[in-house]
């Protein structure tokens, strides 16, 4: 009798444990329990006397894909530059993984930037280096061993589908291939965050879509992505969180959204 009761109690405990586990994993996957990776808190930025970001406040959880839209001059690129610590702000705070980026300077900022992969519209490749060297260089400057550099560079070039083009120079690549090279370079330090400012701005519609699909694939592996774009079709295709800036202010913040409300 004693054993039977103990057995029942044990089974009940296991059942409750299982139910709690299920509940917690459901809550986690819904995003409620995940901590904010990026925190913008009342961020104001000026160029001269002109306010370009005006009390911008939003949070991004680890693993999110956020598309930043807004008319030309809305402040999207300024927001991106401020996020990566490349532009000082007037007031407010920008945190990544709990670290206040706007207080970082010099070496500390340099090391911190390795957590962030940055991709620009104009690729910013080194023209005298081939695809492999463009990617490897980002590791060499950080003092990695030759073998490590080779392995990691090959790994990220395979992710972006450029394994066969690694000996070609930028002038021998299509726009899409140049952007894939830039994305591979952004991935070398295995960043938790990729920030892409108009990465498809110079590409034809099909190639642009391929680049977006690549960013979505990278996001699926757990990397947070912040993308700025003007391209309505791409935003409608992505259908993730969309933050709209206008005149340096957040005017809307929508989940699983398209370009238009
Ligand atoms: N270095 C700078 N010096 C002075 N003003 C600047 C500078 N960079 C940007 N601005 C101004 O800040 C405002 C926001 O520019 P930003 O480049 O962030 O806009 P954007 O939303 O990225 O536009 P686009 O969609 O055209 O790329 C604009 O009015 C712009 O003229
Ligand atoms: Mg811009």
SS3 content of the chain, % helix, strand, coil (to 5): 45, 25, 30
Q: How many CA atoms lie within 13 A of 219 on its CB side?
A: 21
Averaged pLDDT of the chain: 91
Q: Output the pLDDT for position 14.
A: 61
pLDDT of residue 219: 98
Ligand 1 pocket by Cβ (under 6 Å): 47, 52, 70, 72-78, 230
Query: What pLDDT score was predicted for residue 35?
Result: 76
- Radius of gyration over every alpha carbon of the chain, rounded to an integer in angstroms: 22
The per-residue pLDDT for 30 is 52
Q: How many A from CA of 76 to the centre of ligand 1?
A: 8
Q: Name the residue ranges covered by the structural domains of the chain.
A: 34-254
For the segment 178-193, the average pLDDT, to the nearest whole number, is 97
Mean pLDDT of 227-248: 97
Q: Relative to the CA of 230, which ligand 1 atom is closest?
A: 25
Looking at ligand 1, which residue's alpha carbon is closest to its atom 6?
47
Q: How far apart are CA 255 and CA 19, in angstroms?
A: 28
173: pLDDT strictly greater than 80: yes
pLDDT confidence of residue 12: 65
Torsional sign, CA 94, 71, 67, 118: negative
Nearest residue (CA) to ligand 1, atom 17: 77
pLDDT the model gives residue 176: 97
> How many percent of the chain have pLDDT more than 70?
87
Measured by CA distance, the residue closest to atom 3 of ligand 1 is: 47
Question: 64: helix, coil or strand?
Answer: coil
More confident residue, 77 or 15: 77
Residue 106: predicted pLDDT: 94
Per residue in 40-73, pLDDT tens? 999 999 999 999 999 999 999 999 999 999 999 9
In Å, how far are 5, 18, 192, 233 from 86, measured between CA atoms?
Answer: 65, 47, 18, 30
* Dihedral, 86, 217, 38, 98 alpha carbons, nearest 10: -100
Distance 121 CA to ligand 1 centre (A): 14
Query: What pLDDT shows up at residue 9?
Result: 60
- pLDDT per position as a tens digit, 85-102: 999 999 999 999 999 999
CATH 3.40.50.300 fits 34-254, yes or no: yes
pLDDT of the residue at 261? 82
**Residue 14, class by beta-carbon neighbours within 10 Å (0-12 exposed, 13-18 middle, 19+ buried)?**
exposed
Of 108-112, 196-200, 223-227, the one with minimum mean pLDDT is 108-112
Closest residue by Cα to atom 29, ligand 1, is 73
Asked if the model's pLDDT at residue 153 lies above 90, the reply is yes
Q: Kind of pairing, strands 224-228 and 193-197?
A: parallel
Alpha carbon distance 174, 88 (integer Å): 35
From the CA of 70, give the closest atom in ligand 1. 21
Q: Rounded to the nearest 5°, which phi and psi values hold at 88?
A: -70, 150
* 2 has pLDDT over 70: no
Angle between helices 175-187 and 131-140 (to 10 degrees): 20
Q: What is the pLDDT of residue 29?
A: 52
Long-range contacts of 252-256 (CB under 8 A, 24+ apart): 253/58
Which residues are found with C-beta within 5 Å of the ion, ligand 2?
76-77
């Amino acid at each position: 009798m004693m054993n039977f009761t103990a057995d029942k109690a044990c089974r009940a405990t296991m059942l409750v444990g299982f139910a709690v586990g299920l509940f917690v994993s459901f809550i986690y996957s819904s995003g409620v329990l995940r901590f904010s990776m990026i925190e913008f808190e009342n961020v104001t930025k000026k160029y001269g006397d002109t306010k370009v970001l005006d009390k911008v406040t939003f949070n991004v959880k680890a693993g999110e894909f956020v598309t930043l839209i807004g008319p030309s001059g809305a402040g999207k690129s300024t927001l991106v530059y401020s996020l990566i610590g490349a532009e000082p702000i007037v007031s407010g705070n920008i945190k990544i993984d709990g670290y206040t980026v706007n207080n970082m300077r010099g070496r500390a900022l340099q090391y911190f930037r390795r957590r962030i992969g940055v991709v620009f519209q104009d690729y910013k490749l080194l023209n005298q280096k081939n695809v492999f060297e463009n990617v490897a260089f980002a590791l060499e400057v950080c003092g990695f061993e030759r073998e490590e550099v080779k392995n990691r560079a090959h790994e990220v070039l395979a992710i972006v589908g450029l394994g066969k083009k690694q000996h070609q120079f930028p002038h021998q690549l299509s726009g899409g291939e140049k952007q894939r090279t830039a994305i591979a370079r952004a991935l070398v330090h295995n960043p938790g965050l990729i920030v892409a400012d108009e990465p498809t701005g110079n590409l034809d519609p099909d190639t642009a879509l391929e680049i977006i699909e690549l960013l979505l694939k990278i996001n699926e592996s757990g990397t947070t992505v912040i993308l700025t774009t003007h391209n309505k079709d791409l935003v409608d295709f992505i259908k993730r969180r969309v933050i709209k800036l206008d005149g340096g202010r957040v005017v809307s913040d929508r989940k699983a959204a398209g370009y238009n409300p």
